[in-house]
Amino acid sequence: MEQRLSLVTLGVRDLARAKRFYDALGWRGQEAQETVFYQAGGIAVVLWSRAALAADSGLEDAPMPAFGGIVLAHNVRSRRQVDDILASVEAAGGRVTKPAQETFYGGYAGSFVDPDGHPWEVAHNPGFGLAEDGALVLPDLSAG
Amino acid sequence: MEQRLSLVTLGVRDLARAKRFYDALGWRGQEAQETVFYQAGGIAVVLWSRAALAADSGLEDAPMPAFGGIVLAHNVRSRRQVDDILASVEAAGGRVTKPAQETFYGGYAGSFVDPDGHPWEVAHNPGFGLAEDGALVLPDLSAG
């Protein structure tokens, strides 16, 4: 299996509500067949019915637990952007679960959940490179 | 918030087991501070303690439910690659939850869960472009 990811699909209970949330954060997707597709760099972030997504994966749907096990992260170029995005999230109807604060790795980050409970971290991590187009470039972690 | 994603972190109960699984599929990561980082195109896929990840997100940890709500997808260039990857997954200790089959959109796909229950779809979707470097390029979904 090549070392890459193509899509991240978020199971949602109310597609219109989920789309409003991501749209309010400034995202612009394409809606087709009750699914919303957002081009996000070299991958797509997709919103689709949680029940349909579970069935399509051959799994039993389950209520959203307190923690689903996967966290998405959005890295930014400054601390100010962390604060700005978390403020936008609250205005858009998301819930900040950890206010922005210093991190153990010398960065600054906060976390939120979207209307379906999917967690995101918004982070300024000076140790991880961000290319001009927003691509994340891992450093050599054995150095330092 | 820019329309992009930087990291996808998978909460794991046994880091060595999870790393063995992804390594067996051919991935090569960097381990630092009990965390494994895989560069995957313009993002990183990360393995980290599920309990630590929940706490870091300001959420209560919870047992892995039957379905956590997020599905990752790995798109490939042929049906043959779908079959080959699902065979590798079984050999590596993953569990195929949906055998490869025709999809409603004219593709061919199957699904598996990794040792921590995180679901992946492996898909050949002739309607979605894959660049030379593996980047996914959404088509204009309003056409056709």
> Best interface-test mutation with B: which of A14, A35, A67 has the largest number of B CBs within 10 A?
A67
Buried b (16+ CB within 10 A) or exposed e, A25-47: bebebeeeeebbbbbbbbbbbbb
Exposure string for B109-129, b = 16+ CB within 10 A, e = fewer? bbbbbbbbbbbbbbbbbeebe
CA distance A36 to A8: 12
Q: Give the mean model confidence (pLDDT) for residues B29-46.
A: 97
pLDDT value for A104: 87
Q: Which whole number is the average pLDDT over B123-139?
A: 95
Find the CB nearest B75 among A6, A97, A117: A6
pLDDT average, residue stretch B113-136: 96
| Chain A contact set for B1 (CB, 8 A) | 25-27, 74, 85, 88, 122
Contact A37 B138 (CB under 8 A): yes
Residue A143 has pLDDT above 80, yes or no: no
Note whether A38 contacts B135, CB cutoff 8 Å: no
The mean pLDDT value for A55-81 works out to 96
The answer to whether the CB atoms of B39 and A137 lie below 8 A apart is yes
Please say whether the beta carbons of A53 and B53 come within 8 A: no
Q: Which class for B83: exposed (0-12), middle (13-18), buried (19 or more C-beta within 10 A)?
A: middle
Query: Chain B partners of A3 at a C-beta cutoff of 8 Å?
Result: 26-28, 38-40
Task: Provide the percentage of residues in chain B whose pLDDT is more than 90.
Answer: 94
Enumerate domains of chain B plus CATH numbers: 1-61 (3.10.180.10), 70-144 (3.10.180.10)
- Supply φ then ψ for residue A35, to 5 degrees: -140, 145
Which residues fall within 8 angstroms of residue B142, CB to CB, at 6 or more apart? A30, A32
User: What is the Cα–Cα distance from B18 to B37, expressed in whole angstroms?
Assistant: 12
What is the Cα–Cα distance from B100 to B19, expressed in whole angstroms? 25
Q: Sort residue A124 into left (φ over 0), alpha (ψ -120 to 50) or beta.
A: beta
Percent of chain A with pLDDT over 70: 99
pLDDT band at A144 (very low <50, low <70, confident <90, very high): low
Q: What is the mean pLDDT of residues B61-71?
A: 93
d(CA B129, CA B125): 8
CB-neighbour burial class of residue B140 (10 A; exposed 0-12, middle 13-18, buried 19+): exposed
Residue of chain A with shortest Cα separation from B21: A1
- Show residues of chain A in contact with B124, CB under 8 Å: none
Q: At what angle do helices B15-24 and B79-92 cross, to 10 degrees?
A: 140
End-to-end CA distance of chain A: 31
* pLDDT band with cut points at 50, 70 and 90 for residue B142: confident
CA distance B83 to chain A (A): 11
In this prediction, residues B39-50 reach a mean pLDDT of: 97
CA torsion, points B45, B47, B50, B52, in degrees to nearest 10? -100
Alpha-helical segments (H) within B4-78: 15-24, 50-56
CA torsion sign, A141 to A108 to B68 to A44? Answer: negative
What 8-state DSSP symbol labels residue B27?
-
**Contact B44/A41 with Cβ under 8 angstroms?**
no
Please give the average per-residue pLDDT across A82-111, as a whole number. 96
Distance CA B71, CA B113 (A): 9
B87, B100 contact by CB (below 8 A): no
